[in-house]
């Protein structure tokens, strides 16, 4: 069986999480990871890249050893996939260098994967959703997307920073360590005292940097209200996301919503989206949290579906792109799917 299945090794390391995973057509076989933890403050791109470089051998070896126990040998691996962007330049270059070295030494094709598309496709795969509107909300990215005519179209996005980065910035101000999201969520659950904060939507686009600044100012003026301000930050930001997502679903006549990206782990965000979908008679899908945050499985999986469609990356086109957009990608693997227009 292993001989006839397509199997891909994928490397992820766009920011703080380095991961190597082996995926077959049927399942994730193994996902090994090593996470860079800044001693203080946020992610330092060069330090994160150094972490990835020093951990790469161990993480790749761990993944390959684990699948070997299941009978998957190097000769069964069909291709090497890696995240080509978007992400932090030094981290991307470290991962791409490792992927090129593996591709050349093992004589396997190389496949450059767009990290945002990988967040979407792993969710579609794991949840079995067909043609959803996608809310992708992570550290550096916040986008609402839907597939149409060969590409994922960005219907709305942040005009400045991603929501995760906005939350992390505010969390650092409160003295909380990185990543701030889960800690802010916990503080927020202790209050329901709403402090007005800026709700900024322009058409289908959103802005979060003013929200971080206003939350910091509110903390200075009401030092005893930290939990209330965390609650208000979440309520404001998540209501903005829910509004834009609902409009996208209405405009595109879609009755499925898929949540993607690390911020998607937040239970209050999930609850708001769930209520909105229920009110519209739509279905709401959230993958397991290990597939929401950055993971190697999503890169290996998109590598696999690209490989099966002959979509491989020649060495001379394997350079990284820190600003690689999902709508730059020609989707080669959904041609055979038929949808209502």
Per CB under 6 A, the segment of 181-189, 213-221, 237-245, 312-320 that binds ligand ATP is: 181-189
Picked from Fe ion, ligand ATP, none, the partner binding residue 93 (CB below 5 to 8 A depending on kind) is none
Exactly one of 8, 9, 12, 14 binds ligand ATP (CB under 6 A); that residue is 14
Residue 297 makes contact with ligand ATP by CB under 6 A: no
Residue with tokens 């942040």: 158
Q: Least distance in Å: CB of 171 to Fe ion?
A: 18
Q: Which C-beta is closer to ligand ATP: that of 31 or that of 78?
A: 31
Burial group, residue 199, by CB count within 10 angstroms (0-12, 13-18, 19+): middle
Per residue in 60-80, is it b (16+ CB within 10 Å) or e — as a string?
A: bebbbebbeeeebeeebbbbb
Q: How far is the CB of 15 from ligand ATP (least distance, A)?
A: 3
In the list 109, 123, 156, 262, the residue contacting ligand ATP (rule: CB under 6 A) is 262
DSSP 264-318: GG-HHHHHHHHHHHHHHT-EEE---HHHHS--HHHHHHHHHHHHHTT----GGG-
Among Fe ion, ligand ATP, none, partner that 181 touches (CB below 5 to 8 angstroms by kind): ligand ATP
Q: Which residue has the tokens 């009755």?
A: 255
Per CB under 5 A, which of residues 170..189 are in contact with Fe ion?
A: none
**Tokens matching residue 332:** 């080669």
Could you tell me the end-to-end alpha-carbon distance of the chain, in angstroms, rounded to an integer? 38
- For residues 129-156, one letter each, b for 16 or more C-beta atoms within 10 angstroms of the residue's C-beta and e for the rest, the string is bebbbbbbbbbbbbbbbbbeeebbebbb
Residue carrying structure tokens 């491989």: 312
Q: Which residue lies nearer to ligand ATP by CB, 24 or 297? A: 297
Residue 181 engages ligand ATP in binding (rule: CB under 6 A): yes
For ligand ATP, the binding residue among 10, 109, 112, 180 (CB under 6 A) is 180
Q: How far is the CB of 222 from ligand ATP (least distance, A)?
A: 22
For residues 16 and 307, which CB has a smaller minimum distance to ligand ATP in the complex? 16
Question: Got the DSSP string for 181-231?
Answer: HHHHHHHHTT----------EETTEE--HHHHHHHHHHHHH-GGGHHHHHH
Q: Work out what residue 156 binds among Fe ion, ligand ATP, none; the CB cut-off runs from 5 to 8 Å by kind.
A: none
By CB under 5 A, tell whether 294 contacts Fe ion.
Answer: yes
Q: Closer to ligand ATP at the Cβ: 102 or 230?
A: 230
Pick from 138, 142, 158, 219: which binds Fe ion (CB under 5 A)?
138
Nearest CA among 186, 177, 174 for reference residue 36? 177
Closest among 150, 151, 110 to 317, alpha carbons compared:
110
Contacting positions for ligand ATP (CB under 6 A): 14-15, 87, 115, 138-141, 162, 164-165, 167-168, 179-182, 185, 261-263, 265-266, 293-294
Contacting positions for Fe ion (CB under 5 A): 138, 294
């Amino acid at each position: 069986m292993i001989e006839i299945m397509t199997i891909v090794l994928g490397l992820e390391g766009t920011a703080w999480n380095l991961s190597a995973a082996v995926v077959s057509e049927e399942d994730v076989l193994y996902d090994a990871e090593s996470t860079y933890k800044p001693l203080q403050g946020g992610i330092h791109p060069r330090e994160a890249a150094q972490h990835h470089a020093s951990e790469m051998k161990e993480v790749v070896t761990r993944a390959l050893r684990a699948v070997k126990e299941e009978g998957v040998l190097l000769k069964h691996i069909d291709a090497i996939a890696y995240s080509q962007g978007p992400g932090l330049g030094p981290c991307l270059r470290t991962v791409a260098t490792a992927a090129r070295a593996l591709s050349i030494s093992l004589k396997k094709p190389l496949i450059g994967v767009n990290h945002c598309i990988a967040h979407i496709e792993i969710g579609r795969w794991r949840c079995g959703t067909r043609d959803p509107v996608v809310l992708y909300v992570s550290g550096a990215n916040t986008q609402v997307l839907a597939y149409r005519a060969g590409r994922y179209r960005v219907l709305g996005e942040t005009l400045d920073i991603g929501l995760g980065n906005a939350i992390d910035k505010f969390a650092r101000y409160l003295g909380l360590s990185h990543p701030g999201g889960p800690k802010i969520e916990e503080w927020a659950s202790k209050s329901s005292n709403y402090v007005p904060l800026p709700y900024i939507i322009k058409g289908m686009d959103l802005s979060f940097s003013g929200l971080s600044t206003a939350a910091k100012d509110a903390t200075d003026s009401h030092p005893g209200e930290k939990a209330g301000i965390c609650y208000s930050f979440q309520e404001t930001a998540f209501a903005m996301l829910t509004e834009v997502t609902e409009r996208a679903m209405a405009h595109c006549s879609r009755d499925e919503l898929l949540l993607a990206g690390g911020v998607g782990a937040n239970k209050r965000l999930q609850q708001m989206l769930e209520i909105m979908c229920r009110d519209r008679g739509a279905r709401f899908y959230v993958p397991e949290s290990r597939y929401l945050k950055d993971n190697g499985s999503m890169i290996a999986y998109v590598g696999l579906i690209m490989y099966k469609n002959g979509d491989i990356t020649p060495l001379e086109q394997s350079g990284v792109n820190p600003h690689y957009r999902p709508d730059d990608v020609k989707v080669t693997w959904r041609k055979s799917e038929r949808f209502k227009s």
